[in-house]
Structure formats: structure tokens, C-alpha cells
Amino acid sequence: MKLFHIVGARPNFMKVAPVLNALKGRENVVQTLVHTGQHYDVNMSDVFFQQLGIPAPDVNLAVGSGTHAKQTAEIMIRLEPVVLERQPDLVLVYGDVNSTVATVLVCAKLGVQVGHVEAGLRSFDRTMPEEINRLVTDQLADLLFTPSEDGDENLRREGIPAEKIFRVGNVMIDSLVRLLPLARKTGRDDLPERYALVTLHRPANVDDSATLKGILESLLEVNRDLAVVFPAHPRTRKRIDDFGLSAGQLRVLDPLPYVDFLGLQSRATVVITDSGGIQEETTYLGVPCLTVRENTERPITVSMGTNVLVGRDPEKLRTELSRVLSGKAKKGTVPPLWDGHAGERIADILVGWPPRVKAAI
């Protein structure tokens, strides 16, 4: 079986590594790694590849940044001839980035099977570009690998046949489990013992000056009681500058490689974020997580984990932070199958999967 893996942004790298490794050495499986180049920070991408033990991509489409339409279209244009030339039996896509939906559109039109890793997640908020990507990808994919029961339920409700759905667990947790011992050995002498770790990058939070100003003011208030450590996404830092805002006394850092950031997460008193993956990682780590969003496509982190949705309500953020500091933080449990073996379960399914006869392309 000729198998393509398509990645384009940093969250994809943590998800592809366990599947690549689990399929390594499997009989009659030839793997090709295609990097769309959707993430423009090449140096940071290289560091992620090194830390996760991912081989250099076999193909780099070098698409770069752009609007959602431009980026998606450019990936489709550059990917199609690669698929035509190399004729994969199955293409795996990961998560909900533009590379994912662009790939499934190309492959569906060429009659090439697609497997979606991290299928079935829903925020039920179509103002989020990622939600559109998730909906389209899951309707067109042939194999849907879900991380949790809610993913199965969402897909069944949308009419996906049960035989296409496979609950395998969370591949991001595979990478976390493997690298956590190393991450716990990392440290920074310039940071306090107790701190709130912050990440912000969602357009709804950083692309409007009034919203971003309000969030920064809330974080500065947090900083009076608990030091705020803020590895700033390039998009967020640019918006702060563009809007003439100030991060004040917050400890603003450059983006961090995966292992370094995981080390910071594991030691944090609380994490304040709008990231999906971090909601999952903090649930596994047992670290309180306050999510600056009105909804989440990972509700299991709220129902079972340590995650609390605070929206953009400064009062709710203060209340939940007070609970953390007084030792009354929400206690969570690790969801089923978040055990570090999701990649192996995917590999077992793929090796036994009979590819259909491809259409002439």
C-alpha cells in the first residue's frame, strides 16, 4: 500500500508522528510525507520535526501564508499533480487546517481514498474557519478516526455510515506521552515557580482591536496575582503592534518548540488559551485550563477534563482563576483511549484495510 501523509501546520506534526512511527516497518506499506508549507515559520517547523522524530518531507509544496481561499486553492493546485504522478492508495489528513480540506477535495475528485485523523470534532460554530474544514473533510473522507465518543456521535448524526467510523483515541496524546519525560527536564531560569501560561491566536480573539485590548487588560489583572508567561504567536504579536496595544508587564516570549512548550505546560499553575490542542494536553496533564472561547470542538475536555470555558468575560476569568489559586480548581480525568497508543490502533486498521479500485485519473 502506498500511503501519503499530508501535513501543513504545527498541530499536524504532533498528530502525524505517532502514525508514521506505528507504520514504520509494517509489511507492504510505503509512506510518503507531504508538507504543504502552510505554516510560514520554516525554522520553527524544522525544530518541531526534529523533536518529534519526523523524517524530512518527501515533498514540500511551499505554499506559504495567505487568505483562506488563496491558501486552500494553492494547496489544491500544487498537490493535484503530485497525487496524479505518485498514485497513492490512501491519503491521510490530520486535524482541521486548510491543508486538510484542500487535500480531501483533490483526492475526492481523483477517486483516491482519504483517512481523516481527528475526525468528528464539532464546535457547532460556523464562524470558525476550522469548523467548515471539519464538516467538509468528514463528509468526503472514507475512513474517520475519532479521538472520543462525542466524535462518533457527531458523525452518525451527520449521516456517516458506522463502518467508516473508528474510535482510536487521541494521537496528540501519543506524542505527549512519548516526549513528556524529556519535556520535564527542560526549564528556564528566568521564569517564576508559579505562573499562568497563556496562548492566543484565534482570529475572533486577536483580529479585533477592542477584543484583544480587553483580553490583554484581563491578563494584566491576572499578572497582579500570578505571573503571566505569554509565548506570543506571530499573528498575535503583529496584531498587538498594529493596534498600538501594550502587553505591559506580561512575560512575552517568542514561540517555543514543542518539547519546551510542553515543559512549561506541565509545570504551569493554570493555562489560559484559545487553542484546541492545548485543551487536550492540559486535560491529560491534570493542569487547570481556562479557555477564552464561547465554545469548543473538544467538549470532552470540559465534561471529563480540566477545561473550563470562560469566553471573553473578565469576571468569569477572575472567578475561575480565584478558584485555581485557592486550591479549588476543577479536577479532571483522562478520557478513554488517551493512552499513547492511538497511532498503533490506526496502523492496525490501515494494514487490514482493502483499498477500493481507483477510478482512472
Taking CB atoms within 8 Å and a gap of at least 24, the contacts of 330-334 are: 330/288, 330/306, 331/286, 331/306, 332/283, 332/286, 332/301, 332/304, 332/305, 332/306, 332/307, 333/304, 333/305, 334/283, 334/284, 334/304, 334/305
d(CA 34, CA 37): 9
Q: Is 307 in a helix, a strand, or coil?
A: strand
Residues labelled as active-site residues? 201
Of the candidates 250, 285, 248, 251, the residue with the CA atom closest to the CA atom of residue 268 = 285
d(CA 348, CA 358): 22
The grid coordinates of residue 102 equal 484542500
